Amino acid sequence: MTENRSGQPAPALPEVPTDLLIGGKWRPATSGRTFTVDNPATGDVLVEIADADAADAAEAIEAAAAAGAALAAMPTGDRAELLRAVEGELRARADEFALLITLEMGKNLDEALAEVSYAADFFGWFAAEATRIGGDYRASPTGATRVLVQRRGVGPCLLVTPWNFPLAMATRKIGPALAAGCPSVLKPAEQTPLTSLLLARVMTEAGVPAGALNVITTTRPADAVTAVIDSGLARKLSFTGSTAVGKVLLRQCAAQVMRTSMELGGNAPFVVFADADIDAAVDGAMAAKLRNMGQACTAANRFLVAEPVAERFTAELARRMGELVVGPGWEPATDIGPLIDDEAAAKFRWLTEDAVRRGAKVETGSARAQGRFVRPTVLSGVRPGSALLAEEIFGPLAPVMTFSDEDEAVALANDTPYGLVSYVYTRDLDRGLRMFDRLDSGMTGLNVGVVSNAAAPFGGIKHSGLGREGGVEGIDEYLDTKYAAIRA
């Protein structure tokens, strides 16, 4: 690890709203309570913002419901224009958003800029999708009736996002909701609410109608979310976060028979066959492991490498990871910022120590951490039963195991309750497509280490979730199908 501690203070926080946005008005929490948002690199307080309670959340969903009819009636071309206007603003203000993401979340500025661009893509994509919401016409087999099918927005939505991609996880939900004419309540993660607040201001200034987007920031997410679900006004929940919380929310939504989209945790295998281009595989591994310092649901969690190339792949990965510069995200030399909090650093240490205790060898890095700054670490010879094979690591820690043939690779890869993404490196096209068929994951990267893309149906199977975000599938999550039987 190269230390990067210039001792320079953090840049100033861009000006952000600190109140709740409800029905087009910014206001403090009814209780007057506030909470602090911290810079994970320094532990310093960035700003104090409103801490909503259940009553504020109930008011937010009422405001969304009140805005519903007008938004549903807005021509799809007008919705598309609004989305394009916000996309333009995000791109024009990319540096400001990127700095804000770096300050509240920790990732380096280049990664934050990439997130802004990815986030803006969803508004561009769903602007186009808004104008393509269509229907269908059929004749009944008897000829007695005509069947007219139309699709319309599901109604008020609750959008709950995690801390790791504070902008993109929000736009991936707000984009299709608005395109479908659905008003929403956004509840960002308490660690990183500022990006959502700035986004909401930008959207309001771009002309998004009052009540179409409401934002609730809170330290009591269960209370706020429960109030919205129990109101009976929300017709849909789109949640991105941990599988454990997703399961709780699925149960809660069942009581209201709500539509749900669940983007949950992952445990991605990264499979390297002996015929792979090893340099390309290492490049892909760096991207799949280290995007967001490993704090991504798509992060490669287990490296499964064919025996004949394992030594070369592991040595090269260790060399590349060992060269990375660790430091505060705003410093230009930084590759790897801090983990989000002390708990995340403690988990990184514990998972590393557990694997080493069970026989793994440290190829680079260590379990040692300086606060939230941890060394990118590669472990070889990881033994079955090590905790990091079953847990989402969420840090720059790469465990390598070997396999002897394709069947063993598939068995190891699928040996998890999760099924979000898998990565496969091979030069054999037939094998690549066979692996795509055989792997139990919603997404597969074939000779590529990043699958996120606004045009693609992002999502998982098994315990990784339900539904898809992005692609032509993304807007379906916010549409109901209605049909009229018409006498022929």
- Cβ 348 vs Cβ 338: under 8 Å: no
Closer of 222 and 488 to ligand NAD (Cβ): 222
Tokens 């060394």 label which residue?
Answer: 375
* Out of 119, 185, 198, 245, the residue judged to bind ligand NAD by CB under 6 A: 245
Nearest-angstrom CA–CA distance, 157 and 376: 39
One character per residue 419-458, x = contact with ligand NAD (rule: CB under 6 A) = -x--------------------------------------
Q: How far is the CB of 157 from ligand NAD (least distance, A)?
A: 15
For the question of residue 157 being annotated catalytic, the response is no
Nearest-angstrom CA–CA distance, 37 and 234: 28
> Is residue 164 involved in binding ligand NAD (CB under 6 A)?
yes
* Out of 170, 225, 309, 336, the residue judged to bind ligand NAD by CB under 6 A: 225
* Out of 263, 316, 331, 440, the residue judged to bind ligand NAD by CB under 6 A: 263
Positions 267 through 326 that interact with ligand NAD (CB under 6 A)? 297
CA 251 to chain centre: 22
- Cβ 110 vs Cβ 146: under 8 Å: no
One character per residue 167-206, x = contact with ligand NAD (rule: CB under 6 A) = --x-----------------x-xx----------------
* Out of 124, 156, 162, 449, the residue judged to bind ligand NAD by CB under 6 A: 162
Closer of 163 and 273 to ligand NAD (Cβ): 163
Nearest-angstrom CA–CA distance, 320 and 323: 5
Closer of 364 and 452 to ligand NAD (Cβ): 452
Question: What residues contact residue 463 under an 8 Å CB cut-off, 6+ apart?
Answer: 243, 264, 265, 417, 418, 419
* Backbone φ and ψ of 156, nearest 5°: -60, 135
Nearest-angstrom CA–CA distance, 123 and 277: 36
Q: How far is the CB of 418 from ligand NAD (least distance, A)?
A: 9
Question: How many residues of this chain bind ligand NAD (CB under 6 A)?
Answer: 27
Question: What residues contact residue 457 under an 8 Å CB cut-off, 6+ apart?
Answer: 442, 468, 469, 470, 471, 472, 473, 474
Catalytic entry in 157, 182, 253, 297: 297
Partners of 3 in beta bridges: 326
Residues that bind ligand NAD (CB under 6 A): 160-164, 169, 187, 189-190, 221-222, 225, 240-242, 245, 248-249, 263-266, 297, 392, 420, 460, 465
Residues identified as active-site: 263, 297
